[in-house]
Structure 1
Amino acid sequence: MQIQLSIVIPCYNMERYLPQCIDSLLDQNLNPAEYEIIIVNDESKDSTLKVAKNYAAKHANIIIIDKKNAGVGAARNSGYDIARGEYLYFLDPDDYLAKNTVTTLLGLMENNTLDILTFHSMPVVKRHVPNSLNIEHGVKKLDVQDGISYIANIKHHNEIWWFFIRRDFMVSTGIRFIEGRWMEDAILCSELFLKAKRMAHADVDVHRYRILPTSAMRNKTPEHYNKVIYDNANAAHVYKNLIESVPSEHKDAARCIRRLKTRQQSFVFFLMVRLMKSDISVEKIPEMLSGFEKIDAYPLKKFLGPDYHGIGYSILVFIFNRKPLINPFIKFFRTFYNLAK
């Protein structure tokens, strides 16, 4: 039987949450022969590997890759390389899916010959939400468009877990996750979307995004925090080539570029926000800003708009766009931030 779906789960120290993640995938009304769960253990220090092996012993469609730690991008690539399904899904181990939603998504992918299908995600903290809020209502007819028009018309997220991908399409693009850096899925999402010929959004509640204070993007250790800052800077620079790759003759080129510019400048904006709480010397900021100016990612002229708005954003953009205000503002903020710790 043809494997329809390969689900890749990169894991590092996720013994507490992995069982719920796997259980949600086993509760999908799917024939085990039709899908595979590829768990990539990225040299976890806890019992993640043991948990995975216990599940694999009971379920033949669960495959384990146990590898040296190399980060989430490398872990996802390792799972991608052995995936056999017609479609791909990259899920984080602390998240899970609403029950009996995957068959609907696979049907939509197949019936509409899609390269990519996006869907809704719900943030959760402690409460468990196992059921979809609207799957029983059915799915409206999809608005199928190419990726350039999709970006132009719909705000897209940075994360990889809110869409399915046709594997042959992803293979044909040659696109892979950047290894050794954060923001790797933010870059890959836009890269894939720009290449897609047929994609759509399904107005269906599927994914549960667990908000954890210990998650990678909320890790406050200085070394990790500073690495995320520099990897945000790298993402802003990578987006320069992405923006330039949009064909000018496309009917939605201008609006697509506008949204990609917003995303590029969001990396700069949130980098500056993180700088406020970091121990990176303010003396390094002018050099950073100079680099962003060269790629038209600074000043933040394209950041505020439909995707990012509100008084908080407006105040910070006002300050960040005025170089003489940045250093004294950050020094002032750090003084009170450190006292409040």
Structure 2
Amino acid sequence: MKLSILIAMYNTEKYIGNCLESLINQDIKVEDYEIIVINDGSTDNSVSVVESYIKRNKNIVLYNQSNIGITQTSNKLLKLAKGKYLYKIDSDDYIAHNTLGTLLKIAEKSNLDALGFNSCKTTRLDLHKLDTEIISEDLKICTGVEYWSKSNNPKSSANWYLIKNDFIIKNNITFELEDNPMSDTPFTFQLFIAIERFVFLSNVIHRYVQVPTSGSNNRNANHLRKRILKRKALINKLRAISVKLENKDKSKYIGIINSLKFWSDVNVYFLFQKFLYVNISIGDIIKIRKELEQIKAYPMISFTGDQSFSKKHKLITSFLNHKYLFFVGLYPLRMLVKLKLLKLSFR
């Protein structure tokens, strides 16, 4: 088995068919790859959709389980995989047709630990064609640390690279954050710290579908409270990885350390924004802020410099960083959000 595609599925009946459709329209023999789907307790018709594809495609396998969350499900997928290389994709996303075989040949020929490629955000479900040809000659092989040092804060999700299965096992890399939809982030950093042979292709292979009903867009108060705690757990993990690298060899890992700080700030930014959407007391906010200060994750100092950051972003960041101004403006801003007179990017 050359490739295992790993999918954790939960209530994505509108999208899982499109995901599977993209995965079976590939330039690779059916017997050379498997598509493993774990249904994590879906309550919609997702299972029926997958079963209809299984009838027509012998390389798709479905496992059903009670809901245990994305982290444990992702680790179960890793254990089930038989392929030489792995690719993890969300059940509401998809990839360009006829690309996996080419990517796999490049990875095998160069004996890569991982192979990366670009992703694009979209609301469309029909971007099947690859825009540019995949060039497999004169590839620049580097370590994960080298790649991170020369890149501008690459994506922290796990859907933009293939990984060698033996490499994962050898380095004992797993998804660590318990039941956390952002567990991809520390997984990716741990991966790239260890990678010795990596190639990045500029081709846009992955389509990141923007789903209005996804967890990141959910405004329910209880959901937001849980999301705040999960972001805090992620921030703690990122800071722990950063401290470990600083103590080990700061000069060697400086690119990854700086990116860890950047992504920590990103999560602090969206954590604080959620205080405007949910009625959390001043006392609880102060407690969370002090916890972040203790691990040097607040105030935000690294969430700057990108050309996409607008004046509005800089203004909001300064406001969130100001200990007293934030509390003065908290209740008026909550009212503006409630009246839908203030809209912020939401994740």
Task: Give TM-score, length-normalised by structure 1.
Answer: 0.94
Residue matched to 1:149: 146
* Matches of 1:103 and 1:224, distance apart in 2: 40
How far has the Cα of 1:139 moved from its partner? 4.4
Residue matched to 2:26: 28
How far has the Cα of 1:104 moved from its partner? 1.6
* Matches of 1:252 and 1:305, distance apart in 2: 22
In the TM superposition, what whole-angstrom CA distance separates every residue of 1:256-301 from its partner, at most 9, and x where no partner exists? 3122111112211111122222222232111111111111111112
How far has the Cα of 1:158 moved from its partner? 2.3
In the TM superposition, what whole-angstrom CA distance separates every residue of 1:80-99 from its partner, at most 9, and x where no partner exists? 11110000111111111111
| Alignment of 1:269 onto 2:266 | no
User: 3-state DSSP class of the match of 2:245?
Assistant: coil
What percent of counterpart residues are identical?
Answer: 28
Amino acid paired to 2:326: I
What are the residue-to-residue correspondences of 1:312-331 with 2, within 5 Å?
A: 312-331=312-331
How far has the Cα of 1:127 moved from its partner? 5.3
Asked if 2 retains the 8 angstrom alpha-carbon contact of 1:304 and 1:313, the reply is no
How far has the Cα of 1:145 moved from its partner? 1.7
How far has the Cα of 1:244 moved from its partner? 2.3
* Matches of 1:265 and 1:152, distance apart in 2: 18
In the TM superposition, what whole-angstrom CA distance separates every residue of 1:194-219 from its partner, at most 9, and x where no partner exists? 12122221111211111111012112
How far has the Cα of 1:313 moved from its partner? 2.1
The alpha-carbon distance between structure 1 residues 127 and 249, as it changes in their structure 2 partners (threshold 3 A), is closer
Amino acid paired to 1:187: P
* Matches of 1:327 and 1:110, distance apart in 2: 55
Between 1:277-286 and 1:232-241, the stretch displaced more is 277-286
* Matches of 1:160 and 1:176, distance apart in 2: 12
Between 1:280-289 and 1:97-106, the stretch displaced more is 280-289
How far has the Cα of 1:8 moved from its partner? 0.7
Asked if 2 retains the 8 angstrom alpha-carbon contact of 1:139 and 1:204, the reply is no
How far has the Cα of 1:129 moved from its partner? 0.9
Q: How many residues align?
A: 338
Amino acid paired to 2:303: F
Amino acid paired to 2:225: N
* Matches of 1:283 and 1:307, distance apart in 2: 36
How far has the Cα of 1:133 moved from its partner? 0.7
User: 3-state DSSP class of the match of 2:205?
Assistant: strand
User: 3-state DSSP class of the match of 1:64?
Assistant: strand
How far has the Cα of 1:317 moved from its partner? 1.8
What is the root-mean-square deviation of aligned Cα atoms in Å? 1.8
How far has the Cα of 1:44 moved from its partner? 0.8
* Matches of 2:330 and 2:105, distance apart in 1: 51
User: 3-state DSSP class of the match of 1:246?
Assistant: helix
In the TM superposition, what whole-angstrom CA distance separates every residue of 1:69-121 from its partner, at most 9, and x where no partner exists? 01122222222111100001111111111111111211221122211211111
What are the residue-to-residue correspondences of 1:303-314 with 2, within 5 Å?
A: 303-306=303-306, 309-314=309-314
The alpha-carbon distance between structure 1 residues 52 and 174, as it changes in their structure 2 partners (threshold 3 A), is same
* Matches of 2:139 and 2:276, distance apart in 1: 43
Residue matched to 1:114: 112
Asked if 2 retains the 8 angstrom alpha-carbon contact of 1:119 and 1:202, the reply is yes
The alpha-carbon distance between structure 1 residues 108 and 303, as it changes in their structure 2 partners (threshold 3 A), is same
How far has the Cα of 1:255 moved from its partner? 3.0
Amino acid paired to 2:202: D
User: 3-state DSSP class of the match of 1:277?
Assistant: coil
Amino acid paired to 1:61: N
The alpha-carbon distance between structure 1 residues 264 and 308, as it changes in their structure 2 partners (threshold 3 A), is farther
* Matches of 2:119 and 2:335, distance apart in 1: 37
Residue matched to 1:193: 192
Amino acid paired to 1:121: S
Asked if 1 retains the 8 angstrom alpha-carbon contact of 2:134 and 2:203, the reply is no
Asked if 2 retains the 8 angstrom alpha-carbon contact of 1:120 and 1:162, the reply is yes
| Alignment of 1:207 onto 2:193 | no
* Matches of 1:165 and 1:307, distance apart in 2: 30
The alpha-carbon distance between structure 1 residues 270 and 142, as it changes in their structure 2 partners (threshold 3 A), is farther
User: 3-state DSSP class of the match of 2:276?
Assistant: helix
* Matches of 1:87 and 1:8, distance apart in 2: 11
Asked if 1 retains the 8 angstrom alpha-carbon contact of 2:88 and 2:159, the reply is yes
Asked if 2 retains the 8 angstrom alpha-carbon contact of 1:140 and 1:203, the reply is no
Amino acid paired to 1:66: N
Residue matched to 1:78: 76
| Alignment of 1:89 onto 2:73 | no
In the TM superposition, what whole-angstrom CA distance separates every residue of 1:34-89 from its partner, at most 9, and x where no partner exists? 00000111111111112212222222211111011011222222221111000011
Amino acid paired to 1:7: I
Asked if 1 retains the 8 angstrom alpha-carbon contact of 2:18 and 2:125, the reply is no
* Matches of 1:340 and 1:310, distance apart in 2: 21
The alpha-carbon distance between structure 1 residues 172 and 307, as it changes in their structure 2 partners (threshold 3 A), is farther
* Matches of 1:233 and 1:250, distance apart in 2: 24
